[in-house]
Amino acid sequence: MSELIVIGYDDPAVAKKAFKAVQELNNNHIVELSGLAVVTVDQDGETHVDTPAKTEKVAVSATAGALWGMVFGILILTPGIGVVGAALGGLIGKLNQMGVDKNFRSKVDSLLQPGSAAVVIMASKVTEDKFAAAMQSFGGNVLKTSLSEKDEQAFVEQLAGA
């Protein structure tokens, strides 16, 4: 079971500190990351996605990093997309089946207004009490959904085929 956690912040500087804290929690085995990104929206409404460059255990391989980068892109960059290509439509459909539906993506979109930021976390394991205690000082609005291993694997396979 994986957890997809999105924490929205009004201040990008706080989001970047929270992003670094999540990396430290990964190093301390409080969270086991399969993907991590900090997403900022500048005052012009342009979205920027940063991922850890060489954080141990975050992206097992370049391929895994690219796959979860695509998940983040679909989640963050296409919330209101209308007509999409067959491959992207299939991926969004698979996300919908996994609980990352239009409603969830809409909530993520509402967090990301100009001048704001979010930390997007894909974790295979989270020690909830320690994670919450460590992240509490940063505040933020938390959105979370769980992904079964079966759904996650099916999505990765479809993503690799797309």
Taking only the tens place, the pLDDT of each residue in 43-82 is 998 888 787 764 444 444 444 455 455 566 666 655 444 4
Q: What is the mean pLDDT of the chain?
A: 75
Mean pLDDT computed over 91-101: 59
- Number of domains present in the structure of the chain: 1
If pLDDT is split at 50, 70 and 90, which confidence band does 155 have?
Answer: low
C-alpha span between 37 and 65 (Å, rounded): 10
If pLDDT is split at 50, 70 and 90, which confidence band does 85 have?
Answer: very low
SS3 for 149? helix
Query: Pick the residue with more confidence: 84 or 31?
Result: 31
Residue 13: what pLDDT? 96
Angle between helices 149-161 and 86-97 (to 10 degrees): 180
DSSP calls for 73-122: HHHHH-TT--S--HHHHHHHHHHHHTT--HHHHHHHHHH--TT-EEEEEE
Query: Pick the residue with more confidence: 55 or 105?
Result: 105
Domain range holding 40? 2-161
**pTM of the full structure:** 0.76
Amino acid at 90: G
User: In the block, which residue shows the tokens 């009004």?
Assistant: 10
- Asked if 160 and 46 count as a contact pair (C-beta separation under 8 A), the reply is no
115: alpha, beta or left, given left = phi > 0 and alpha = psi -120 to 50?
left
